[in-house]
Copies of this chain bind each other. A is one copy, B any other.
Amino acid sequence: MASNRFAMAVHILALLARRGGTMTSEEVARSVNTNPVVIRRILGHLRRAGLVCGVSGPSGGSQLCVSPEKISLFDIYRAVEDGELICVHEDPSRRCPVGRRIQSVLENVTTGVKRAVAKELKATKLSAIVRSFG
């Protein structure tokens, strides 16, 4: 994962959890120190994952729609990161015994790594992140 989206998403959700109500993308952007549109793009991922919901208009904004105890870092990771953690070379030679089977061999490796990462991220909830801010 090469993007800042996961880090920004955790930041955003921690802000919303502490607020306990709605925040505008403008407010969030000030804390994350970026453009409100960047925030709204990430909120779009989180909304599609069912973690937040947003309303238009004055006094609008976004808020959590799942309690922080029920949101794991893996839920956040899955919502914003779609790329593969480890890439498998896609076009090896079929004429070589190694090239022919390298993909399935590496598939086992990447499956193991993904499972390990998922297990690690599932172990921490958003509520624990919020508590660590004091």
Complex contact B132–A98 (CB within 8 A)? no
- Assess whether B129 is in contact with A105, with CB atoms less than 8 Å apart: yes
A89: chain B residues within 8 A (beta carbon): 4, 7-8, 11, 32
Residue count of chain A within 8 Å CB distance of chain B: 50
Of the candidates B15, B93, B124, B129, which one forms a contact with A31 in the assembled complex, judged by CB atoms under 8 Å apart?
B93
For residue A45, give the distance in angstroms from its CB to the closest CB of chain B: 15
- Which residues of A60-116 are within 8 A (CB) of B? 73, 83-93, 96-99, 101-102, 105-106, 109, 112-113, 116
A99 to B18: give the CA distance in the assembly, Å: 12
Tell whether, in the assembled complex, residue A106 and residue B31 are in contact, meaning their CB atoms are under 8 Å apart: no
Please tell me if the beta carbons of A98 and B133 are within 8 angstroms of each other in the complex: yes
Alpha-carbon distance A58/B3, docked complex (angstroms): 44
> In the complex the two chains form, what is the Cα distance from A90 to B109 in whole Å?
31
The answer for the CA separation of A3 and B129 in the assembled complex, in Å, is 30
* Chain A residues near B (Cβ < 8 Å): 1-4, 6-8, 10-11, 14-15, 18, 30-33, 73, 83-93, 96-99, 101-102, 105-106, 109, 112-113, 116-117, 119-121, 123-124, 129, 132-134
